[in-house]
Structure 1
Amino acid sequence: MSAPPGRPLSLFERALYGDGSLPGNVVVTACIEGRIDPAALLRALSQAQARHPLLRCLIVEREGRPWFELRRTPPQIPLRIIDRRSDEDWLTWSERELQRCFDGRREPLARLLWLRGEHRSELVLICHHAICDGRALTHLLGELLRDCDGPERAIETRDALPSFADWLPAAVRADRGLQRSIRWRAAALALALRLLVRDRPAQHYGAIYRELWTLDEAVSRRLSEQCRAQHVSAYVAISLAFVLAFRAVCGAQRIQRFVAPVDMRSLLPNLGDRDLFGIAPTVELRPGKTGAGTAAPDEFWTRARALQAELQRRIEVLPAKVYRNFLGLERLHGVFDRMVVYGRSRREGRQLTLSNLGRLSLTQDYRGFHLRAVRGISGVVGATPAHQLVISRYAGRYDFSLSSDEESLPRAHALRIREHAMDLLMALTAPQAQPHAEPAPVSAEPVRAA
């Protein structure tokens, strides 16, 4: 009897999933005004499973590796309904769900929590990062909202489970020189991992927390207008403000790397815009020396334009590195356990990830309800998210989520960082702080990060 259809997890997916004992989740909350039909919501979840084969998979062991195994009659995506008691309930529940592990052996790697009120509700969507990045998460949320509000429609069930290599351009798969280079690099790295990595205790961290806040429409509009006037993306301006804030609060040497996750869909032509996908390469942001964490308006915008130009250059050379690195990783499954030991024994907290989701393209008005806000997009992979900032914009408002743990960054310090960054951005958007704009050296389009 043949085995059920499926495919092995890529090494990057294995790293995100681990052994299932640590969280690897992404979460988003939709704030709803109006009424949702429970039967329609269940139907929407069923349609999502038909549309996305990864939502019909369980994790199984085959040939010494974890596989996505496609089930013909999969377990349903869990829907939990809880009576809504206050406007703040979603904060507690979303944080709890963010840290609650999936059991991929028994359930799909997605679940939905409905905080149900008479006139207002929140839908908290949680997915595992192994199948879903921030962009895929918000697309999936949009599909659920659309399907639970519209008439029942026929959905063609999709069964294809392409591997990472299937998404690559044909020219990359056929490049023999690249394959030879990958083979030698991977062999050298595997040998080093076998010889040099010894069993070491895993690092332990403090309690995970998130700081969530939103700018009002007027302030958000002024920030966007000022960025356009200065030929700088809002993402770069906000990122630089937080670099300055971290250095002001933590010192210039505490955070050694600033990185931006980049949406891989532009690099993988066979991957659809709305396909579920959880892998995101990063590029390093190099803001240079920034003094004591402050900057006059002219100096700030000059630095921002330089940072944007450097970021654009790094993104332009990213494809070749991505193809080489990710194909090389597929040759390291035999030393995956050594990689896990090495990764968990290294102390986190020296890096700030600045993730940009940009403007969310979600409909606001439906037949039965209104989408008031999209809040708290966050992720955690492993024992700590230290440190992560997620930036998004919906309904004219910028939304922020700053995550870490109490040992790597005490929450009191995170509050000071938030205040410092926001004060800096407010000062830059004040009428008297608007310097003469200079020509843009590169495209001012925001970097779309995962």
Structure 2
Amino acid sequence: MIVNHPHHCQATTLVRPLGAGERLFYRYSERNPAHFSVVAEFGEVLAVNQLRAALAAVQRRHPLLSVHVEDRTGTRLGFYRAAAVPRVELTVRRWTELAWQAAAAEELSRPFDRSRAPLMRASLLQGPSRSLLLLTFDHTIADGISSTLVLNDVITALNGKTLASLPVPQSQERIVSDVLGAAEPLKPTALPGDARMSTPSVLRPFDGALTNVRTMALSRADTATLVARCRAESTTVHAALVVAMCRVRATDRGEEFTRVLTPINLRPILGIEGGCVLCIVPTATGHVPWDGTPFWGQARAMTAHLDVARSAHGIRTASLALEQMITTDATTSDAEELFTRISPWEIMVTNLGVQNL
């Protein structure tokens, strides 16, 4: 299907319609921009021309890095491609001690125009002997795992290796239907409920104000100790971090109950590898940090909840619910309702797992 879009002087070709998850983030971001960044530090000065070539190779490899979004009568939201697509925008700056945090905050305050490709941009911060690369993505075409895959491809291209082009990735809902279609959806009683989960969370209107970007890193030794303790306690690092964050927030704000949003990575169970595409479903959990339950007991309970959510039955349930709520005619308000009433949260904890770059 070829159409003309008012923002383009040339015909644009429909690549595929958006899936429910992609529609969710597109509509939600109309009032609440949800783009994100990934940062990589290099112990050398990256040549700008080589980086531009690497970004071009990555853009050729991943089809969704050359699409924009159009809302057409009948088909509604779709990924479209123009005959000529601009290259990934690259901004080059000088690296000072706190420059990358400031650059990241600036990127997070600048939403994408989803009617124009590409829905990714890059910033290079150069110092006397090192470089930092910041990649920013619109959530409609990518998730956190996608960003690490693209980053790895950039590194591969910088090392002089050829990147093969990938096919257009299918929507996660279609793959869930194909792979997990036989899985029975969970009954409502399978996941425990709490009346406090029905209290809507509050959205802060987006005003372009700079985000506070703060970082903390554990040493290799501390990380190894944490992983070993979590395994010994039959829980996960993610669950332990959730419990710790809830306890800190409860103590700091005097809250009795805290909701946490965890994006579930669908790639392992669906067998998806290598593509830049949205492949997550959100799940919300409620916590009473100081109810007398020991820390590791709370972490094990969190792990058990997520085990159900990431099972074949749990993913099938979430995917069907998402399709039912975020239909092709869904609005921005529908997307906001999902994140404030269906899956309300005060804290989001996202986990990219172990990545070897």
Using structure 2 for the length normalisation, give the TM-score: 0.79
Superposition deviation, residue 267 in structure 1:
4.2
- Looking at structure 1, the residues matched to 285 and 174 of structure 2 have their Cα atoms a distance apart, in angstroms, of 30
C-alpha distance after superposition, 1:183-217 (max 9, x if no partner)? xxxxxxxxxxxxxxxxxxx8637854233211233
Superposition deviation, residue 321 in structure 1:
0.5
Match 2:86 to one of 53, 56, 75: 75
SS at match of 2:43: strand
Counterparts in 2 of 1:229-378, with a 5 A limit? 229-253=232-256, 255=258, 257-269=259-271, 272-288=272-288, 290-291=290-291, 299-316=294-311, 317-329=313-325, 332-336=327-331, 338-339=333-334, 350-362=345-357
SS at match of 2:262: strand
Superposition deviation, residue 164 in structure 1:
4.1
Superposition deviation, residue 273 in structure 1:
1.6
Alignment RMSD = 3.2
Q: Work out whether residues 246 and 289 of structure 2, in 8 Å CA contact, stay in contact via their aligned partners in 1.
A: no
- Alignment partner, residue 48 of structure 1: 58
SS at match of 1:226: helix
Superposition deviation, residue 240 in structure 1:
1.2
C-alpha distance after superposition, 1:318-367 (max 9, x if no partner)? 1231232233246x333425525757998x985322211122221xxxxx
Counterpart residue type for residue 55 of structure 1: L
C-alpha distance after superposition, 1:217-249 (max 9, x if no partner)? 332232223223333322222221112111112
Counterpart residue type for residue 175 of structure 2: W
- Looking at structure 1, the residues matched to 97 and 43 of structure 2 have their Cα atoms a distance apart, in angstroms, of 12
Counterpart residue type for residue 297 of structure 2: T
- Looking at structure 2, the residues matched to 336 and 353 of structure 1 have their Cα atoms a distance apart, in angstroms, of 23
C-alpha distance after superposition, 1:94-146 (max 9, x if no partner)? 11112211112233010110011221111011011111111111111111012
Q: Work out whether residues 169 and 268 of structure 1, in 8 Å CA contact, stay in contact via their aligned partners in 2.
A: no
- Alignment partner, residue 215 of structure 2: 212
- Alignment partner, residue 116 of structure 1: 126
Q: 1:139 to 1:209 in 2, by over 3 A?
A: same
Superposition deviation, residue 76 in structure 1:
0.5
Match 2:160 to one of 134, 147, 150: 150
- Alignment partner, residue 92 of structure 1: 102
Q: 1:62 to 1:88 in 2, by over 3 A?
A: same
Superposition deviation, residue 44 in structure 1:
1.1
Superposition deviation, residue 287 in structure 1:
4.4
Q: 1:314 to 1:110 in 2, by over 3 A?
A: closer
- Looking at structure 2, the residues matched to 303 and 174 of structure 1 have their Cα atoms a distance apart, in angstroms, of 32
Q: 1:159 to 1:80 in 2, by over 3 A?
A: same
Q: 1:211 to 1:101 in 2, by over 3 A?
A: same
- Looking at structure 2, the residues matched to 340 and 223 of structure 1 have their Cα atoms a distance apart, in angstroms, of 36
C-alpha distance after superposition, 1:249-283 (max 9, x if no partner)? 2223353x2232110123434xx322112242133
Q: 1:221 to 1:11 in 2, by over 3 A?
A: closer
Q: Work out whether residues 45 and 77 of structure 1, in 8 Å CA contact, stay in contact via their aligned partners in 2.
A: yes
- Looking at structure 2, the residues matched to 318 and 124 of structure 1 have their Cα atoms a distance apart, in angstroms, of 34
Match 1:59 to one of 63, 69, 75: 69
Q: Work out whether residues 129 and 278 of structure 1, in 8 Å CA contact, stay in contact via their aligned partners in 2.
A: yes
Counterpart residue type for residue 170 of structure 1: D
- Looking at structure 1, the residues matched to 256 and 246 of structure 2 have their Cα atoms a distance apart, in angstroms, of 11
- Looking at structure 2, the residues matched to 227 and 56 of structure 1 have their Cα atoms a distance apart, in angstroms, of 41
Q: 1:306 to 1:90 in 2, by over 3 A?
A: same
- The percent identity for this pair of structures is 23
Match 1:170 to one of 165, 170, 178: 178
- Residue-pair matches, total: 325
Q: Work out whether residues 167 and 268 of structure 1, in 8 Å CA contact, stay in contact via their aligned partners in 2.
A: yes
Q: Work out whether residues 111 and 126 of structure 1, in 8 Å CA contact, stay in contact via their aligned partners in 2.
A: yes
Counterpart residue type for residue 213 of structure 1: M
Q: 1:314 to 1:49 in 2, by over 3 A?
A: closer
- Alignment partner, residue 194 of structure 2: none
Unaligned ranges ≥5, structure 2: 4-12, 186-202
Q: Work out whether residues 284 and 344 of structure 2, in 8 Å CA contact, stay in contact via their aligned partners in 1.
A: no
Counterpart residue type for residue 97 of structure 2: D
Q: 1:340 to 1:241 in 2, by over 3 A?
A: closer
